[in-house]
Chains A and B, each alone.
Chain A
């Protein structure tokens, strides 16, 4: 009994989120949809409280709870803080949009909180069963959010497509997990690590591992399991897309890292080529498919596929340095993505949101501050030096070089130059094309604030010591917890 109570004390953020979501749900059912705004606000406060709780309860040495199913350590805390922050911003950013589309329903913040609950379980998963349960909890909430605008054909299509393909990937993941369990005799990561190092590269274990990697690659939309991302991103309501592109990615990547580094450190030679291949495929798809896009949400989908590729280079390195590079990369990626989607949500004219890249034409003249913010964000996404995006790529490539994978770093650098083309093309359109009609201004101060904040955070001349410096230290501590 005391063991269980101790367990809950390290899982306080999760308990807060689960109980809080249920309380908000009851309040919502009781007061109806007119309470959507206060409930959104309460959900943001709940996520902020969970973030603080995660910061303060972090055990020094890391603790395994619930019979080893749940691991509370610096690595999980790092991921959780970003996840909670991204969830809070997803709710804050949705306000204006949902009101405009007459979607202001109280279930929206509740589902976001439940999704962050699932993601936080993913970040802490230390066992094949809790890995799967975390993935299902967050995916199910995301399927619903994708179809949230149920009267829109594209939104329901996005939800259905995501659901069917997600079920397929869950099937692959479970098949792999069952093979690993069958050959290792345990679902616990520590136990699997023991068996894997004792028995070496057992064929059954490797086949299981490949299926597990496929399932996880689907969840972070890495090629060749990326085909759902552009359609889902385009069809889902835009604030939901912003959420899809940020929090689930860091949760999926944290889970990816832990599920490979914790149970299979001794057979890294087996999975390293697989991860490297996935990384290269994702970067290529991200770089080349994005060029032809005209819809900015689809462009961001391909961009996120590419970014997953860069982050996976750090995982392919498989070292402590590589893992900390993945975390730094993901943190910067989330900031850039949230900022960019805040700008996309500001692309509003009379009659609703616009989503075409051509709508951004001449933005620097019609709306100077927004043009500047989008420019900084896209420079950072492209990895132009002096922006944070450059440092993210830098750490990943250095980790690959130090792990004797110079070729992978070179391939990554070359592809990142190619992918800079389509980011810079958008910037070109904004600065040098004839202006399109101006966007509405001053309708959503929260969005403008978010976008500006993200732009400041990734423009490191201003904040290099406090933000990037703190990020590097935290990521190094987090990575150390896994080794």
Chain B
């Protein structure tokens, strides 16, 4: 067994196990933590496939932003998950029937599924490895994504940027309020003030006070 194969099994088992724990654990905070483990394991699997950019993206976006947001939501909204789980048995027949329908559909789809030859090749060799890209002078996958985003898809890419800008403007307009009377630290003013402005020398005669 090569190191890559060992790493694969470690990440794969970790991903599946933590995925199960997300559903199974009683405490929702634990669920979110297991979700983060699942993301990290999946990122490891991406690295093994030679998709290092996706791996980095998964960590930065999903672990760094989405999972932390989940964590905040779970911790701040006091949702009683035990109560939500009540009636599980009552809805089991309906849920089970729906699940059976979906499984039947999946089996029917799988029955007529055919893989084109390219898919088999792609599966065996998903992305050029770092060594290969160096040898052939081909762009690695971050460069390849950048090249395609800024040439073939530049139109969509720029529009997507504007959409995000609009979303940001919207979030600020609809929620941001300047509050009056908040004491803020203004470093420039603190540093910029002079001795004459802030210190007053008062001559007080002994025993008289000001």
Contact = CB atoms under 8 A, between A and B. Distances in A.
Interface string A110-146: 1100100110010000000110011011001101100
B204 interface: no
A117 B156 CA distance: 14
Contacts of A69: 155-156
A66 B154 CA distance: 7
A286 B174 CA distance: 32
* Residues of A in contact with B, size category: 20 to 34
B167 A140 contact: yes
A130 B169 contact: no
B173 A144 contact: yes
Contact of B166 (A70, A130, A134, A141): A141
Contact of A137 (B152, B159, B173): B159
Interface string B136-158: 00000000000000011011101
A137 B166 contact: yes
Interface in A287-336: none
Contacts of A381: none
Contacts of A105: 173
Contacts of B154: 4, 66
Interface in B154-208: 154-156, 158-160, 162-163, 165-167, 169-170, 172-174
Interface in A1-52: 4, 7, 18, 22, 25
Contacts of B158: 18
A107 interface: yes
A147 interface: yes
A67 interface: yes
Contacts of B151: 4
B173 A67 contact: no
B75 to A, nearest CB: 26
A417 to B, nearest CB: 42
B contact patch SS: helix
A4 B169 CA distance: 29
Contact of B170 (A22, A118, A130, A140): A140
A133 B169 contact: no
Contact of B163 (A129, A136, A144): A136
A161 interface: no
B152 A67 contact: yes
Given A144-B173, A150-B174, A133 B166 contact: no
Contact of B155 (A22, A66, A118, A150): A66
Contact of A148 (B155, B156, B173): B173
Contacts of A4: 151, 154
Contacts of B172: 107
A130 B155 contact: yes
Nearest to A159: B174
Interface in A399-432: none
Nearest to A33: B178
A147 B166 contact: no
Contacts of A137: 159, 162-163, 166
A144 B170 contact: yes
Interface of A: 4, 7, 18, 22, 25, 65-67, 69-70, 105, 107, 110-111, 114, 117-118, 121, 129-130, 133-134, 136-137, 140-141, 143-144, 147-148, 150, 159
Given A25-B169, A114-B169, 12 more contacts: A18-B158, A107-B172, A111-B166, A111-B169, A111-B173, A130-B159, A133-B156, A137-B159, A140-B167, A140-B170, A143-B170, A147-B174
Interface of B: 151-152, 154-156, 158-160, 162-163, 165-167, 169-170, 172-174
19 contacts: A4-B154, A22-B165, A25-B169, A70-B155, A105-B173, A107-B172, A110-B169, A118-B162, A130-B155, A137-B159, A137-B162, A137-B163, A137-B166, A140-B163, A140-B167, A140-B170, A141-B166, A141-B170, A147-B174
